[in-house]
Amino acid sequence: MKIKAVDFFCSIGGMTYGFREAGINVIAGIDIDNSCKETYEFNNPGSKFIQADVMDLSFEDLKKQTGIEENDDNLVFIGCSPCQFWSIINTVKTKSEKTKNLLTDFQRFVEHFKPGYVVVENVPGILKKAEESGLNNFIRMLEEGGKYKVDKGIINANHHGVPQKRKRFSLIASRVNKQISLPIPEKENRPTVKDFIGTENGFEKIPNNHKDETDFIHTTAKLSDKNYLRLKNTKKNGGSRCDWADNTDLQLECYKKSPTGFSDIYGRMSWDTPAPTITTKFHSISNGRFGHPSENRAISLREGATLQTFPKKYVFKEKSIGKVAKHVGNAVPPELAFRIAKQII
């Protein structure tokens, strides 16, 4: 393939891996977090990891490190910037405020280099706040004077081979192919949890607080005694914290007066439905429906990565459970990336 790409905000390489599997040469990935470097380069040999803040990276430095040139019809720029600030999840935005304008920083590289293709993936909230997030200005820049054909929308990754209810804003644009479009969603055969994890998929039964020292990292976080009892009293295959709402010893203080509310926390996944969105806290049952469907534990690191469609051979070099979970949750599912790359090809 003549097509080559640069993956901005590459993290550990979910987008890079999917593009490479489709046949596109990913020259480099750029990320400010150097803890991603070893995992990125180990699993994507030949794709260079550039540790840099895009706010400070110059055009000349990028050209020097990658060999790319302006106005290359066969060049793809991928921009999946950190998106916590624009998430619709009601969390404190203080830490993520400094990264809220990264789409605008990515835009200056697109404007300067004018690659043949542009791909963006972000949370749906960036579309809901399209003016504040800089998305409207980014799209205007692409479409001005008919330079780029743009297709955009909210994609549910489950409609594209990923066993998750994972909705994301996606954009694909080209100045050399006016027929470009996002992949068509599948109406049937949408994958579920049982298609990816479980003993029949190579995941042996393990206990809570299991440590797997191999590269398979079928490792689980430790549950407190009370959280273990909570999960034990949660019905298998899709149960929720409502199953023990009347147990005064187990019920959470914040729900004793008003038991309704966010019911996914402390819940179990269901075998026959897609998993919830795999977040950066998927190793913790108190942060979502991350309980194993039938075992009394949270899903393991490898199970979370597999539900993200990372292949089982993908090696995560970080030693910390929390760090691996963060890297996996922040990644673009490689299968979705693969299908977007196929649209370009």
Q: What is the pLDDT of residue 82?
A: 82
CATH fold of the domain at 197-308: DNA Methylase; Chain A, domain 2 (3.90.120)
Q: In the chain, which residue ranges form alpha helices assigned H by DSSP? A: 14-22, 37-43, 59-66, 102-113, 125-128, 135-143, 225-232, 301-307, 321-330, 334-344
333 closest CA partner among 129, 131, 164 = 164
Q: Which residues in the chain belong to E strands, given as ranges? A: 4-8, 25-31, 48-51, 75-79, 117-122, 149-156, 167-174
Domain segments of the chain: what residues? 4-187+334-344, 197-308
Which of 10, 36, 80, 83 is flagged as catalytic?
83
For the ranges 40-49, 107-116, 222-231, 250-259, which has the lowest average pLDDT?
250-259
Q: Is 80 a catalytic residue?
A: no
Q: What is the pLDDT of residue 299?
A: 98
Does residue 257 sit in helix, strand or coil? coil
**Sequence-separated (6 or more) residues with CB below 8 Å from residue 168:** 121, 122, 123, 124, 154, 155, 157
Spatial separation of the C-alpha atoms in residues 45 and 43, rounded to whole Å: 6
- Indicate the pLDDT class of residue 259, thresholds 50, 70 and 90: low
Strand partners, 7: 29, 78
Q: Which whole number is the average pLDDT over 245-271?
A: 79
Q: What is the pLDDT of residue 147?
A: 95
Residue-wise pLDDT for 9-68, tens only, equals: 999 999 999 999 999 999 999 999 999 999 999 999 999 999 999 999 999 999 999 999
**pLDDT tops 50 at residue 87:** no
Higher pLDDT, 99 or 69: 69
Q: What is the pLDDT of residue 262?
A: 65
Does residue 26 sit in helix, strand or coil? strand
Sheet holding 4-8, edge to edge: 48-51, 25-31, 4-8, 75-79, 117-122, 167-174, 149-156
Q: What is the pLDDT of residue 100?
A: 58
**pLDDT tops 50 at residue 86:** no
Q: Which residues in 137-201 belong to E strands, given as ranges? A: 149-156, 167-174
**pLDDT tops 60 at residue 74:** yes
**Sequence-separated (6 or more) residues with CB below 8 Å from residue 291:** 231, 234, 239, 266, 267, 268, 269, 285, 297, 298, 299
- Tell me the CA distances in angstroms from 275 to 192, 279, 309, one per residue in order: 7, 11, 12
Q: What is the mean pLDDT of the chain?
A: 92
Q: Which whole number is the average pLDDT over 98-123?
A: 90
Q: What is the pLDDT of residue 101?
A: 79
**pLDDT tops 60 at residue 96:** no
CA dihedral 32, 38, 40, 42 (to 10 degrees): 160
Q: What is the pLDDT of residue 2?
A: 94
Higher pLDDT, 248 or 27: 27
Residue-wise pLDDT for 203-238, tens only, equals: 999 999 999 999 999 999 999 999 999 999 999 999
CATH number of 4-187+334-344: 3.40.50.150
- Indicate the pLDDT class of residue 84, thresholds 50, 70 and 90: low
**pLDDT tops 60 at residue 90:** no
**pLDDT tops 80 at residue 120:** yes
- Indicate the pLDDT class of residue 128, thresholds 50, 70 and 90: confident
Higher pLDDT, 100 or 143: 143
Q: Which two tokens stand for residue 264?
A: 């996914």
